A = this chain, B = another copy of it.
């Protein structure tokens, strides 16, 4: 499998560097007949674009999506969908000492160790701009899921030390942090102002809730749905932990408090609680899927930091220019996108789980 390809049946291959000519994604295995426009993709990209508030970088990147293939007369054709986003600002510029020094918290050193060469302009392939391709693909995946009644609710659960204490879904799009709690959002803003004054940055936690997922998705061993989600979300640059359901808390719980009972409610079997976060034995159980990702603080800070130059000299590095003091808000749609990509693949994979349903499917075709 290509190293920049995600998925088994519904796949996305991303490409592009921060300051190259363009970035993009090829989405393959998308079913034919899905209505799809550039606006569908743009809506997702706009959720991760810079300049949304004073807490995100002021860089002006239009990040306009163009579809180059795979859509005909407003519908997908079943062939690969190529989406491209041109980098508008490519003028030659001074990259300072990016070429010759290793920024703490970044991948400069490891890229050099692995490849012996590195596109140092703005982080190159390891830039956060790499998530443009994921998000474009996620928009398509989410559109497919939407057709099947599956809905996402993704938001910042905490920014630095500030956690939400209330949950109002309608509030999520009303503040700069995509928090479902206006009070927490205000406190997060105040905290970030302090960080900016000290030339520092903050992290946070993103939570993704998915409803309408039918029971039966995921496979019992290595392709457990939670394993696939964990890989998908951990592959986002700044994520350092992934939790499902009660997550880390289960380690200090007891069987009697962690187990979800079952009951028959008006003829449908339901769980009496959802500590498991909607996945049992790696397979979706029909209840809400709940996932959290811990995002590290933006590594680019303008404080002096100890590091080394490429030729091995100990130096003190200050990173100038505007950088996001927190990337959590912009990463919300990226987490959602990776979950959507994972779910679509699981949905398609599950279609061949039972011989009776396969027979129905092909009988119906004739």
- Tell me the chain A residues, 102-119 only, with Cβ under 8 Å from chain B: 102, 104-107, 109-111, 113-119
- A15→B214 CA distance, assembly (Å): 26
Stretch of A46-54, A179-187, A252-260 on the interface side: A252-260
- Tell me the chain A residues, 271-328 only, with Cβ under 8 Å from chain B: 272, 276-277, 279-286, 294-301, 303, 305-308, 312-314
Contact A216 B114 (CB under 8 A): yes
Stretch of A55-63, A165-173, A198-206 on the interface side: A198-206
> With A29-B3, A248-B241, A308-B264 given, is the CB distance from A283 to B215 under 8 Å?
no
- Having A15-B69, A15-B70, A262-B307, one finds 6 other A-B pairs with CB under 8 Å, namely A4-B222, A10-B352, A31-B352, A105-B255, A115-B353, A241-B243
- A259→B24 CA distance, assembly (Å): 29
Max chain B Cβ within 10 angstroms of own Cβ: one of A9, A217, A360: A9
- A299→B69 CA distance, assembly (Å): 25
Contact B24 A262 (CB under 8 A): no
Contact B72 A124 (CB under 8 A): yes
List residues of chain B with CB within 8 A of the CB of A203. Answer: 250-253, 258
- Tell me the chain A residues, 213-262 only, with Cβ under 8 Å from chain B: 214-217, 219-224, 226-232, 234-235, 237, 240-256, 258-262
- A107→B229 CA distance, assembly (Å): 18
Contact A15 B80 (CB under 8 A): yes
List residues of chain B with CB within 8 A of the CB of A153. Answer: none
